[in-house]
Amino acid sequence: MKIARFSTAGEDPRYGIVDGEDLVVLAGDPMFRGFDTTGERVPVAEARMLAPVIPRSKVVCVGLNYAEHKAEMEIAAPSNPLIFLKPNTSVVGPGDAIQIPPVEGRIVHEGELAVVIGKIAKQVKAENAADYIFGYTIGNDVSARDQMFADGQWARAKGYDTFCPLGPVIETELDVTDLEITTFVDGEPRRQGRTSSMIYKVPELIEYISDVWTLLPGDIILTGTPAGLGGFVDGQTVEITIDGIGTLSNPARNR
């Protein structure tokens, strides 16, 4: 089931189930109110798709989770998952502009499978991780790459407003063990990989992360990016496609 968060002219954000060319409007946020419908249908063509979820507290990112990307980065990594945070103010939706700040160096895309947490998770065992997942979407862990190296830590380089596009929908029923992830800039292929190549799989990540931080409903886990060339500039468009979810597209604009 694909769940969208959307708006129409003059209306507050609503939620709907994607049904062909229509959105079947839900009575409320399905994460908290279930999948009761109102009987209304809205054509997808008349809706503006929004970030399908705004994390209540945090976006948890996993660095260097694909062996080829880890090798190309040439960064010493721990023997356990490398995790860090993005603020929820970095989240934007499909079609929203990635605002490039006036800093020196490269701005790069990192197309990733995003896990949407569905209920409070603390010290969850890997074998029970599926019970805490609401669904999956696409995330772009935008990064000011040269700032990462200059600062010696990643909070500023990855935490700018608009540096976490999410969307276009949440897929609630998806086998993520072997999905293709592809990233394009203005139609040119830049990154490609499969989730089967993750060093740490989704259940392992949930176990590890939930031992560090309590995960709340709506929190996001970005599971890492495959290898590839990552830079983009003002005026270009970044498109990330994941099997079974769709395509997340965002233009870039100088701030």
pTM over 0.85? The answer is yes
Q: Indicate if 9 and 115 belong to the same structural domain.
A: no
Q: Which two tokens stand for residue 163?
A: 């540096």
Average pLDDT over residues 147-155: 91
Q: Indicate if 101 and 160 belong to the same structural domain.
A: yes
Check whether 78 has a pLDDT greater than 90: no
Query: What is the structure's pLDDT at 76?
Result: 66
Q: Indicate if 122 and 182 belong to the same structural domain.
A: yes
Does 54 map to a domain? no
Q: Indicate if 71 and 92 belong to the same structural domain.
A: yes
Q: Indicate if 158 and 223 belong to the same structural domain.
A: yes
Query: What is the structure's pLDDT at 70?
Result: 67
Does 150 map to a domain? yes
Query: What is the structure's pLDDT at 39?
Result: 95
Q: Indicate if 111 and 160 belong to the same structural domain.
A: yes
Check whether 125 has a pLDDT greater than 80: yes
Q: Indicate if 109 and 183 belong to the same structural domain.
A: yes
Return mean pLDDT, the chain: 95
CB count in 10 Å sphere of residue 81: 21
Q: What is the DSSP letter of 30?
A: H
Domain that holds residue 23: 2-49
Q: Indicate if 115 and 202 belong to the same structural domain.
A: yes
Average pLDDT over residues 66-86: 80
Q: How many domains does the chain have?
A: 2
Check whether 232 has a pLDDT greater than 90: yes
Q: Indicate if 86 and 34 belong to the same structural domain.
A: no
Does 168 map to a domain? yes
Q: Indicate if 110 and 86 belong to the same structural domain.
A: yes
Burial profile 11-40: b = 16 or more Cβ within 10 angstroms, e = fewer: eeebbbbbeeebbbbbeebbbeeeeeeeee
With cut-offs at 50, 70 and 90, classify the pLDDT of residue 62.
very high
- What residues form DSSP beta bridges with 194? 180
Average pLDDT over residues 50-66: 95
Pairing relationship of beta strands 59-63 and 237-242 according to DSSP bridges: unpaired
SS3 letters for 188-232? EEEEEEEHHHECCCHHHHHHHHHHHCCECCCCEEECCCCCECCEC
Does 88 map to a domain? yes
The per-residue pLDDT for range 96-113, each reduced to its tens digit, is 999 999 999 999 999 999
The domain spanning residue 22 has which CATH number?
2.30.30
- Backbone phi and psi for residue 72, each to the nearest 5 degrees, phi listed first: -70, -25
Q: Indicate if 148 and 227 belong to the same structural domain.
A: yes
Check whether 74 has a pLDDT greater than 70: no
Query: What is the structure's pLDDT at 10?
Result: 80
